[in-house]
Amino acid sequence: MAGGITQSEYWNGEVGTRWAHNQAVLDALFVPLTEALFDRAGLNLGATVLDIGCGSGATTVEAARRVGAAGRVTGADISAPLLAVAQARVGREAPGAAPVTFVEADVEQADLGTFDAALSRFGVMFFPDSLRAFANIRRMLRPAGQLTFLCWRALPENLWVQVPREAVMPLLSEVPPPPAPDTPGPFRFADADGLGALLRNAGFGTVSCAALDRDVILGRGDTDAEAAAAAAHVALNLGPTSHLVREAEPDLRARAEAAVTEALIRHASGGAVRLRAACWLVQAG
């Protein structure tokens, strides 16, 4: 549940629509992390691949390019608005890429076939029952198949979230309660030991969690001031800070936008706001 609603309601509601409209911004934000994900996944030519929580499909299409025409790639997600963006990519794949199929499916329980590899860019932290979901993913992998995914480390290590968050918090009348343990959310798998135990309990024999730190570009502009304003817009509309002001009155929103812009301009240079993103790059087989 996210704020008392199901994950399906969450990703099919206003959040999913907002992500869908800003697909290009999000894909650009995640570029350095995506490269590391694919380097680690090491997809073989001709492989069959499942992209879990594929969203608008950027990683699905990239997987298809990497495995080539003899492969096959399935992107699965529960969000209709994001899958509509993904579907629009079909038929526009790179020459020589594998055929891509997008399916609306809950990966916690769906049987989507058998795959040589599974991957996910931040799409595995939202299952109500993670143990059941990872066991289901293990079942869909061939015996030698590998699951490779990115998830976030703790919030304070993720300066791209922490810096805007610290600027917003003093403006709020109430401090939002921390999420309950083991509930869906971006920072759920910050504890690598717990995540490793979960994956082993789900049936994975080998698990590695490597820390991955990369600067991400939160906003660009012709000037540093423009870059900071663009970055504040991303932070307050798309990133994990956005829920703090999602239902705020226009006055509070405007003050939050000003405070976050001021905080982010300190991290701007050469027309870009760069801040550290801290992930676990996980592989389990």
Chain positions contacting ligand SAM, by CB under 6 A = 7, 11, 26, 30, 53-56, 59, 76-79, 82, 106-108, 121-123, 126-127
Nearer to ligand SAM, 128 or 285 (CB): 128
The distance of closest approach from Cβ of residue 60 to ligand SAM in the complex, given in angstroms and rounded to an integer, is 9
Q: Which of 41, 268 has the CB closer to ligand SAM?
A: 41
Q: Which is closer to ligand SAM, CB of 22 or CB of 44?
A: 22
Least distance between ligand SAM and beta carbon 157 (Å): 18
Closest distance of CB 11 from ligand SAM, Å: 3
| Residue nearer to ligand SAM on the CB measure, 158 or 261 | 158
Torsion region of 13: left, alpha or beta (phi above 0 gives left; psi -120 to 50 gives alpha): beta
Count other Cβ atoms within 10 Å, centred on residue 206: 10
Residue closer to ligand SAM, measured from CB, 25 or 252: 25
Closer to ligand SAM at the Cβ: 52 or 268?
52
CB of residue 246 to ligand SAM, shortest distance in Å: 16
